[in-house]
């Protein structure tokens, strides 16, 4: 800060010049006099994060404030960078799934899906019909878990601890089902090039329908506790407004875009994996604020349940991996007694067939399959918007280039347009309404 009174400055504040300007250390004295002498036109610059609980991960925001009003916002990312894309280029095509699934860790199956669709485009193959439907079910179940975290953590940011306890209670039910279907709660690596790692358990249909029935029973409570709650509504209404033209200029996708009025959902506009055979609606709003984004995500949970019920009735018997033994990996998987690796009986069968079968199995697992040279872009609709995999192959067993078009990274660039001119307290609402995942931003 600056002062026109040198005596007051010397009496109350020691000055130290830094690269950012003068820094004053104030101690003692009458604070009314000190603050009166400190009146100036300069603005305050503060850091919010990278460990602030409402930044949804290690996100750093550099804020310029005039009183309680945000006049400028700059997002600083990179604190969670794990080199996922580059690491995937040093493994074979199938092993790349275990890397990309860890990017957006709240929607790991969307990461796997876009990556595998890209690999399949390069190979010129398509997953079996049953595998495509089961992929859809996994994606919608994962969408529900992600939106429940949005409600839980967003509510916690605003001091609504009941939203946190309710959101995570329902999420646990969904995570239990994911674990039952895939073997893992997250970072599944279950969607593989050519299909799925293995089929669902025999009674999966019953488990899925039981989950849908439970969610249909519990979701009305969210409308009672939050949608109809005036404090919750007033806290979100008219906060973080981003109109449609701004969304299009900034490349924003997902619920933030649909809350501005454009029904752009890749499941409808560019359908993949048999989504065109399913009946569901794409909820939209024209309010373009944080309240609309909350309502939209809550409705999307209902639509995902609607899709899951259809898949449970439509799924026909059949393989879940392509028949080509030069691509299917791991071939004829049979889980061992410890739940890891191939069973001894399967290993014995492989070794007892022929030396050629053993060599092929060894080379497929260690080296992987060759992918024709070329490049593709494969997008899917993740809970946060369009996530796409740009893959480049030079004809080898490893990708030449892997790059994810990550919706959290793109959407977060709209944060200044949504927050500048508003209050610091509303910035917390803005971050929550975007629902960024920093694992995907930094990857």
Q: Can you give the pLDDT at residue 7?
A: 45
Question: How open is the CA angle 386-253-243, to the nearest 5 degrees?
Answer: 175
The predicted pLDDT at position 172 comes to 93
Question: What's the pLDDT at 334?
Answer: 54
Burial of 429 (0-12, 13-18, 19+ CB in 10 A): buried
Helices 129-157, 290-314: crossing angle, 10 deg rounding: 150
Q: Is the peptide bond before 330 cis (omega within 30 degrees of 0)?
A: yes
pLDDT at 304: 94
Distance set, CA 37 to CA 2, 31, 67, 178 (Å): 9, 10, 17, 61
Q: Are the C-beta atoms of 158 and 360 separated by less than 8 Å?
A: no
Check residue 343 and give its pLDDT.
Answer: 62
Residue 123, C-beta contacts closer than 8 angstroms, at least 6 positions apart: 193, 194, 327, 369, 371, 372
Question: What was the pLDDT predicted at 117?
Answer: 94
Running along the chain, 443 residues long, what does each successive block of 10 average in pLDDT? 45 67 62 49 75 76 85 85 88 89 90 93 92 93 93 85 88 92 87 88 91 92 86 89 91 92 91 91 91 93 94 89 78 52 65 72 80 93 93 91 92 90 88 88 86
- Structure confidence at residue 369 (pLDDT): 85
Query: Which residues does residue 404 pair with via DSSP β-bridges, in sequence order?
Result: 389
The residue ranges of every structural domain in the chain are 1-42, 84-329+368-442
* pLDDT on residue 6: 45
CA–CA separation, 399 and 87 (whole Å): 10
pTM: 0.84
* Cα→Cα distances 124→92, 105, 115, 325, 384, Å: 18, 29, 14, 15, 28
How would CATH label the architecture of 84-329+368-442? Answer: Orthogonal Bundle (1.10)
Peptide bond into 50 cis (omega under 30): yes
- Cross-sheet strand order for the sheet of 374-382: 374-382, 385-393, 401-405
- Neighbour tally for 185: CB within 10 Å: 14
Output the DSSP codes for 139-164: HHHHHHHHHHHHHHHHHHHTT-HHHH
């Amino acid at each position: 800060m600056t002062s026109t009174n040198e005596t007051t400055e010397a009496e109350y504040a020691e000055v130290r010049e830094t690269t950012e300007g003068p820094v004053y250390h104030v101690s003692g004295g009458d604070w009314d006099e000190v603050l009166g002498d400190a009146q100036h036109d300069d603005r305050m610059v503060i850091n919010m994060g990278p460990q602030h609980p409402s930044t949804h991960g290690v996100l750093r925001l550099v804020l310029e404030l005039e009183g309680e009003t945000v006049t400028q916002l700059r997002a600083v990312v990179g604190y969670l960078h794990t080199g996922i894309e580059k690491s995937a280029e040093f493994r074979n095509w199938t092993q790349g799934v275990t890397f990309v699934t860890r990017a957006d860790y709240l929607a790991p199956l969307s990461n796997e899906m876009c990556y595998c669709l890209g690999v399949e485009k390069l190979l010129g193959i398509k997953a079996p019909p049953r595998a495509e439907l089961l992929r859809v079910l996994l994606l919608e179940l994962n969408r529900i878990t992600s939106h429940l975290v949005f409600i839980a953590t967003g509510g916690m940011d605003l001091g609504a601890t009941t939203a946190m306890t309710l959101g995570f209670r329902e999420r646990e039910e969904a995570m239990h089902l994911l674990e039952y279907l895939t073997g893992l709660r997250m970072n599944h690596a279950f969607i593989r090039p050519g299909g799925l790692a293995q089929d669902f358990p025999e009674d999966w249909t019953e488990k899925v329908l039981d989950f849908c029935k439970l969610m249909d029973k519990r979701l009305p409570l969210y409308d009672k506790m939050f949608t109809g709650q005036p404090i919750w509504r007033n806290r979100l209404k008219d906060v973080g407004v981003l109109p449609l033209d701004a969304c299009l200029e900034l490349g924003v996708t997902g619920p933030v875009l649909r809350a501005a009025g454009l029904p752009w959902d890749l499941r409808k506009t560019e359908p993949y994996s048999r989504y065109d055979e399913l009946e569901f609606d794409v909820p939209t709003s024209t309010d373009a604020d944080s309240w609309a984004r909350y309502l939209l995500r809550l409705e999307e949970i209902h639509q995902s349940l609607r899709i899951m019920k259809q898949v449970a009735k439509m799924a026909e018997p059949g393989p879940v991996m392509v028949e080509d033994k030069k691509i299917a990996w791991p071939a004829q998987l049979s889980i061992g007694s410890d739940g890891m690796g191939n069973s001894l009986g399967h290993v014995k069968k492989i070794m007892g067939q022929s030396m050629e079968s053993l060599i092929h199995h060894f080379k497929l697992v260690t080296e992987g399959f060759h992918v024709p040279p070329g490049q593709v872009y494969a997008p899917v609709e993740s809970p946060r918007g369009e996530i796409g995999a740009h893959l480049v192959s030079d004809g080898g067993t490893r990708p030449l280039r892997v790059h994810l078009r990550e919706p959290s990274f793109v959407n977060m660039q709209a944060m200044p347009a949504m927050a500048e001119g508003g209050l610091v307290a509303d910035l917390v609402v803005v971050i929550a309404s975007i629902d960024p995942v920093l694992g995907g931003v930094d990857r």
